[in-house]
């Protein structure tokens, strides 16, 4: 439970700091300068400067702000603690400035690294993989506000040929996920609904149009999947994250 609570608190602190910086960049600062918040020049300028700032952090910080999320799974090997300051700074800048869509991979990396580093000193008999599982479960629970996602993930990854029953292997991760979710719920009330107009009476044409939209979305997604590794490799040929961003 302690790991789940700690994972959630780290997420909350990072999000709060990013929220304060976001309010400064997108509301208070343009108001002080007499610039409209929705000014195209301001939006492009902030995004550009944020990208440069994140690139500089990645380029010059120790550990280069951790692993590349495009090359690593969501739950990866722990990184050295020395890489965490740069990673946290890049995460906060990216969230506040708008060049990052979410904190999932960076905050997972931070929590896993801290859990392994601290846990190995407090309980050296517990192996690194167990600390990794607990930290990732707590973080997943904190991110989604529910342990259900952790249950779905770890019921597959932990379902090996071990003689230990699956429930015994799932109990500790689910407790960490539940603790993380409950802790997040004390500070945030996340919801996944969108403020859109109420949908009226369904028409037969909606079925056809919905199928067409879904097919287009799937096709666009598959094109993006095909393009991502090629664009990623091309960007890395520049060998400079500042130029990439």
Encode pLDDT of 69-93 as tens digits: 878 887 888 999 999 999 999 999 9
pLDDT value at residue 242: 63
Q: In the numeric block, which tokens belong to residue 43?
A: 């939006």
Q: Are residues 158 and 207 in the same domain?
A: no
Average of per-residue pLDDT across 163-175? 78
Name the more confident of 95 and 200.
95
* Residue that terminates a domain, selected from 151, 172, 192: 192
Q: Are residues 143 and 110 in the same domain?
A: yes
Report CA-CA distances (Å) from 97 to 10, 26, 69, 164, 172. Answer: 20, 8, 19, 47, 36
Helical segments of the chain, H only: 2-23, 29-33, 40-60, 84-97, 104-122, 128-144, 148-157, 166-187, 204-236, 241-244
Q: Are residues 126 and 40 in the same domain?
A: yes
Residue span of the structural domain in which 28 resides: 2-192
Q: Are residues 54 and 151 in the same domain?
A: yes
Name the more confident of 150 and 174.
174
Q: Are residues 178 and 236 in the same domain?
A: no
User: What does pTM read for this prediction?
Assistant: 0.82
* CA separation for the pair 191, 241 (Å, rounded): 34
* CA nearest neighbour of 160 among 149, 170, 171: 170
Residue that has been written with the tokens 């949908």 in this structure:
199
Are 66 and 83 spatial neighbours (Cβ–Cβ below 8 Å)? yes
Q: Are residues 112 and 221 in the same domain?
A: no
Q: Are residues 139 and 116 in the same domain?
A: yes
* CA nearest neighbour of 235 among 58, 34, 25, 30: 58
Q: Are residues 181 and 242 in the same domain?
A: no
Count of structural domains, the chain: 2
Q: Are residues 205 and 162 in the same domain?
A: no
Average of per-residue pLDDT across 94-100? 89
Q: Are residues 137 and 233 in the same domain?
A: no
């Amino acid at each position: 439970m302690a790991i789940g609570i700690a994972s959630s608190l780290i997420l909350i602190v990072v999000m709060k700091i990013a929220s304060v910086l976001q309010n400064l960049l997108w509301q208070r600062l343009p108001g002080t300068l007499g610039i409209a918040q929705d000014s195209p020049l301001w939006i492009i300028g902030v995004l550009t400067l944020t990208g440069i700032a994140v690139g500089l952090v990645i380029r010059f910080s120790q550990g280069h702000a951790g692993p590349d999320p495009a090359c690593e799974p969501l739950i990866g090997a722990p990184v050295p603690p020395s890489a965490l300051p740069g990673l946290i700074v890049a995460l906060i800048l990216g969230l506040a400035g708008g060049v990052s869509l979410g904190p999932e991979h960076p905050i997972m990396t931070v929590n896993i690294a801290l859990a392994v580093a601290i846990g190995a000193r407090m309980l050296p008999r517990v192996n690194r993989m167990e600390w990794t599982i607990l930290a990732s479960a707590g973080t997943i629970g904190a991110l989604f506000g529910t342990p259900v996602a952790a249950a779905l993930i770890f019921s597959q990854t932990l379902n090996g040929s071990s003689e230990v029953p699956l429930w015994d292997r799932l109990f500790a991760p689910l407790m960490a996920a539940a603790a993380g979710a409950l802790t997040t719920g004390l500070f945030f009330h996340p919801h996944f609904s969108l403020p859109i107009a109420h949908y009226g009476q369904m028409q037969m044409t909606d079925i056809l149009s919905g199928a067409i939209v879904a097919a287009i979305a799937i096709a666009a997604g598959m094109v993006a999947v095909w393009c991502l590794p090629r664009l990623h490799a091309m960007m890395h040929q520049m060998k400079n994250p500042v130029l990439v961003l």
